[in-house]
Amino acid sequence: MSSPTDPPPPAGRSTQAIHAGEARQKLGDAVTDPIFCTSTYTFTDLDAAREFYVNQTPREEYGRYGNPTEKVVERKLAALEGGEAALLYGTGMSALAGLMLAVLRAGDEVVFFDQAYRRTREFCTDFLSKFGVVTRLVPVCDYDGLEAAITPQTRLLFSECPTNPHLSVVDLERIAEIGRRHAIATAIDSTLASPLNLRPLAFGIDFVTHSCTKYLAGHNDLLAGAVIGAAAKIEPLRKLRGLLGTICGPHETYLLLRGLKTLELRMQRHNENGQRVAEFLAGHPRIAHVYYPGLASHPQHALARRMMAGFGGVVTFLVRDADAAQTAAVVNQMRIPRIGPSLGGAESLVDYPLIMSFNDLSPDQRRGWGIPDNMIRLACGLENPDDLIADLRQALQ
C-alpha cells in the first residue's frame, strides 16, 4: 500500500512536481500545504517531550531544525532528482558551503573544473584554504587532468553542469567512475539544468546541488538552495545545518513549493526560448560566438544530447569586434530583458560579466577565466520567443 505522501501513478515529471512529497489530505483539508510561521513547537506534557527527546519520535521541535512545509519541499526535490533525501538551505551558496563543510576537513583536498560560478570558486580557494583545505583547479572537461590532480587527501570532486557562464557540459558518467574508483565523493551543481533537463544522480554522482532561487522557484522572488543524494549521505549535512542555522524561512519555503508546481511547463518555455535565441544569435553577423549546448557547434553537443532532456534558457555570446563600450551599448539597447545577475525567472535578465561579476579583475585575469570584454550572458525568461528575438535584433543594430 502506498503512503500518504507517495505521488499518484503514473509519476511523470509534472505529476511529481505537483504531488510528490505531499500528504493527500492536508491540515484544514486545504489543497495546498500551509505556512508554519513559528520558531518553536510545543509539547502537550513531559511524556510527549520524552517521546521526542529520548525515543526520538519524529516531529518538529525548533525552527532551526525543521519546518513541516520544508519537509514537503525536501521530499518533492528528492523525487524530482531521483534521490532518497534532500536538504533545503537559505541560499544556493549556503547549500554548497554546507556540503563542502560537511565533507571536507583540515588537510583534505577538493578538485574541480575551473569553469564555475565565481563565488563557489572563491569559497574554496579563499575561505576553505584558511582552514587547511586545498583546492585544485583543473581545465574544464580535462578528465585525465582531473584524475591526475587526485591525491590521497582528495575527498571531493566537484563541477557544474552546465557551467556558468560558458555552458560547458561535463561527462557525468566519467566523473562518477573516477570518483568510485578512487573512493572519492562526487558533486554536481546542476542549477543551470534543473531536474527537468538533467538528473546527475542517475549517472552515479553522489550529491547534486541547486540554487533553488533560479529555475526551481522560477519567479525571481526568493532565495533558497538544496542538496540531494542518498539519505545516509544527507544526514551529516542535516546535523551541520542545525548547528549553522542556514535554513530557508517559512515564507520562502512556501513560495518555492508553489513555484515547483509549474516547473515542467516553465522549463519547456525556457528550453524553447534558449534554443531559438541561440540559433538566431548563431546566424547573426554581429555575433562572433554563441555558448549554448543545444547548438551543433557546441563542443559537447553530442554529450549534451545524450545526457540532457533540454538545454535551458541561458545563452552566452560574444559581440563581434566589439570593445567594452560597444558591448555595453548592446546591453543598454535591449528593451525586454532587465539588467540583473540572476536567471531562471519569468522575466528575462541580461548580465554583462565585465561590469557585473569581474570588474575588480585586470584584463589579463579576466581573459584567464575566459571572460572577454565582449561577452554577454542572457537568461531567457518566459516571454514570447519572437519578441525576444526581435528585441535582440534591434539591439544588435
Give the tens place of pLDDT for each residue, 271-327: 999 999 999 999 999 999 999 999 999 999 999 999 999 999 999 999 999 999 999
pLDDT digits (tens, 9 = 90+) for 197-222: 999 999 999 999 999 999 999 999 99
Compute the average pLDDT of residues 245-263: 98
| DSSP labels, 29-98 | G-SSPPP---SB---SSHHHHHHHHTT--S---BTTT--HHHHHHHHHHHHHHT-SEEEEESSHHHHHHH
For residue 368, CA distances in Å to 209, 328, 352, 355 come to 26, 21, 17, 16
Of 242, 260, 278, at which residue does a domain stop?
260
Same domain, 204 and 270: no
Evaluate whether residue 7 is within a structural domain.
no
Q: Residue 129 is placed in which grid cell?
A: 584554504
Same domain, 77 and 211: yes
Evaluate whether residue 348 is within a structural domain.
yes
Evaluate whether residue 5 is within a structural domain.
no
Work out how many domains the chain is built from and give that number. 2
For residue 67, CA distances in Å to 47, 76, 203 come to 22, 15, 31
* Cβ-contact 361, 355 below 8 angstroms: no
C-alpha–C-alpha distance, residues 286 and 370, integer Å: 20
Domain containing 365 equals 264-396
Burial of residue 352 (CB within 10 Å: 0-12, 13-18, 19+) is buried
Q: Mean pLDDT for the chain? A: 95
Reported pTM: 0.94
pLDDT beyond 60 at 95: yes
Same domain, 250 and 292: no
Evaluate whether residue 2 is within a structural domain.
no
Evaluate whether residue 1 is within a structural domain.
no
pLDDT beyond 50 at 2: no
Using alpha carbons only, how large is the chain's radius of gyration in Å? 22
pLDDT digits (tens, 9 = 90+) for 163-186: 999 999 999 999 999 999 999 999
Q: Residue 102 is placed in which grid cell?
A: 560537511
Same domain, 160 and 272: no
Among residues 125, 117, 84, 107, which one has the least CA distance to residue 188? Answer: 117
* Cβ-contact 23, 3 below 8 angstroms: no
Same domain, 123 and 270: no
pLDDT reported for residue 359? 83
C-alpha–C-alpha distance, residues 334 and 173, integer Å: 39
C-alpha–C-alpha distance, residues 70 and 90, integer Å: 11
